[in-house]
Amino acid sequence: MSFPRATSRAALVVAVLAMPLASTAAAETFQSVMQGLADDMNRVQSALFVEDFATVTEAAEAIADHPKPSLGERRRVLSAVGSRVSEFRALDQQVHDTAEGLANAARDQDLDQSIRYHARLVNACIACHSAFRDDVVSALSPENAPER
């Protein structure tokens, strides 16, 4: 076997072996997404205290563009919220839009606007948790997992 052909085959084997890892990384759990959002919210708050606008911008952008849970978990969440799916999606959009506003205010180094957007963002998160957390946690609990 020639060197180029062996190299091509080796690259193919590596690519095939890496595929399950890539798909696993992309399929986040709802809990890991929420934990990432909580971590980014904590980064925003800590950075606001010291007027670290670069970190506020970075964390707010991460909140606005947070990863999505796996398709299966999204289906279970939407099933759990039932007829209130439009309210759930509206709150998710509100979090997204408010985080973008916060990122823009921080990029402009406008502390007052950044604080206002941060407060709105906290309120949007709390509103969503108050309305949906119990139903979503129940739907995603191991005893309610779909059978395989």
Question: Looking at the domain assignment, is residue 98 inside a domain?
Answer: yes
Question: Looking at the domain assignment, is residue 100 inside a domain?
Answer: yes
pLDDT of residue 27: 59
Q: How far apart are CA 103 and CA 128, in angstroms?
A: 21
Question: Looking at the domain assignment, is residue 91 inside a domain?
Answer: yes
Question: Looking at the domain assignment, is residue 15 inside a domain?
Answer: no
Number of domains comprising the chain: 1
- In percent, the amount of the chain with pLDDT more than 90 equals 74
Q: State the CATH number of the domain containing residue 128.
A: 1.20.120.10
Locus of tokens 């925003």: 44
Q: What is the pLDDT of residues 62-99, one digit of tens each?
A: 999 999 999 999 999 999 999 999 999 999 999 999 99
Q: What is the residue range of 137's domain?
A: 28-144
pLDDT of residue 30: 92
What single-letter amino acid sits at 52? D
Question: Looking at the domain assignment, is residue 14 inside a domain?
Answer: no
